[in-house]
Amino acid sequence: MSREFYMKEHSVGSTKIVGACDKELLGKTIKDETGLEVKVAEKFYGGRLVDEEELLKSIQDASSVNLIGNRVVRTVLESGLGSVDNARRIGGVMFMMIIRI
């Protein structure tokens, strides 16, 4: 399975926010049985296609990280940069947020 992800970096003042998703999820809407919906919007996630190394390098110094997709979440968990406590499933797809204060 491909380890390529769409990733976009956003800057708000000195705050760096990274949004990343599994390649095939860009532009899709994920729904669960409760009606919760997450839009994998190109505006937020669709910056550029990156590999695992570039993704992990970018999120190391990010203030906030928003990830959606089973592969991207698993990659971050395996690297030790995220915790399973920050992840949940939405319609069978892993979603994770990391906020560093």
12 neighbors 18 (Cβ within 8 angstroms): no
Domain that holds residue 9: 4-99
Predicted confidence (pLDDT) at residue 1 exceeds the cutoff of 80: no
Number of separate domains in the chain: 1
Give the pLDDT confidence of 7-32 residue by residue, as tens digits. 999 999 999 999 999 999 999 999 99
Give the pLDDT confidence of 37-81 residue by residue, as tens digits. 999 999 999 999 999 999 999 999 999 999 999 999 999 999 999
Q: Which residue has the tokens 């937020």?
A: 44
Instruction: Kindly write down the DSSP assignment for every residue of 6-32, as one continuous string.
Output: EEEEEEETTEEEEEEEEGGGTT-EEE-
- Rounded to the nearest angstrom, the gap between the alpha carbon of residue 78 and the centroid of all alpha carbons in its chain is 14
Q: How far apart are CA 92 and CA 89, in angstroms?
A: 5
User: What pLDDT, on the 0 to 100 scale, is given for residue 2?
Assistant: 60
Q: Which residues pair with 35 in a beta bridge?
A: none
- Specify the pTM: 0.92
Q: How far apart are CA 98 and CA 101, in angstroms?
A: 10
Looking up residue 19, the CATH number of its domain turns out to be 3.30.1860.10
